[in-house]
Chain A
Amino acid sequence: MENTKDRPEEQEPHPSGEEPLLPTYSEDGEDLTLIRLMLSLTPIERLRTVQRRANSIQRLRNARKTV
């Protein structure tokens, strides 16, 4: 199934009603808003964010095994 999130329709107005100042996606489909969000943190805050996600994923994987 085509992922339309990666290919926003350029002709459509932005859903917020206002055009963002910076592009939302790179040409290869990376979400630049997530990159900017991470860059707004300190390196250690970035790492803790990723570590929390990794631990959450691990908890989900472990949970699935018990079903």
Chain B
Amino acid sequence: MRPAADAGRQTAGLGSGTSRKQGGPAKFIVGIGRGVGGALLFALPMQMTVEMWELGFIIDRGRLLLLLIVTLPLLVGIAHRIGFEETFGWRDDLRDSMIAYGIGIASSAILLALFRVLTPDMSSSEILGKIALQAVPASIGAMLGRSQLGNSGDDDADDDDADDDETDDGNDAAGDKGSLDKGYGSELFLMAVGALFLNLNMAPTEEMILISYKMTPWHALATIFLSIGLMHGFVYALSFKGSHALSKDTPAWHALVRFTLPGYVIALAISLYALWTFGRLDGMGLTPTMMAMIVLAFPGAIGAAAARLIL
């Protein structure tokens, strides 16, 4: 058990091999492999979705550009927050992000070609658009791959921590790095990543707007309350491992105002951004826009709440 865990720990990062004393090419390759695994896990549902293929050429190029640019700080943030210990610094985070982006682009190109969604007779703009769009979720997946498919890379942390990792791997990876020392901002960032995780999968599909069209405002109201209730219950009341434990003298509404509601607003904002990026809101009035946002924020809220268990 111990050798395996150690090997896993030493190879935890995408590019960790190059920046670690004990690193080597083999470890670097394992890191890349994890990234590819994460990219597949996260992006395959989108790579096999017809709406995403269509969006490759439909999507407004300005919005695509914005999405591609916004992805970069997001990747750096994930690398910083989940990837390595703080000592690693922004240069390493940036390098890791670029590797993840590269994995995202390459894996998207290969898979789309495999599915024959990309063929040589297509225009270069269409091919580029399809790959670029898929590269965004795939690169996020590559980045998350490390924390989801392995432990969180604490090789030179203290022994206590290492033992913890070994016995209680998944849980420790979930709670270990990030939530402890960095406080409120990174809690919210984690929730945003979790919301993106589910939102990106669902936002391109027609069902999101179709559901919002089928709903009456009463259904939307119920969805809002269910989203907030589930979110709050999921993490704070049920107190899963890796989530908050409420101290006895803290009233429940403290956590609601300080964490659940901001988390829900984050899920709403990400839903709105995703719908706008994919052109689902064009020409829509205020109320239908809100309804679509509320529908998509439902999975977003679940993702945000679960983020601290998954990541």
Q: Do the two shown chains form a genuine complex with each other?
A: no
B residues near A (Cβ < 8 Å) are: none
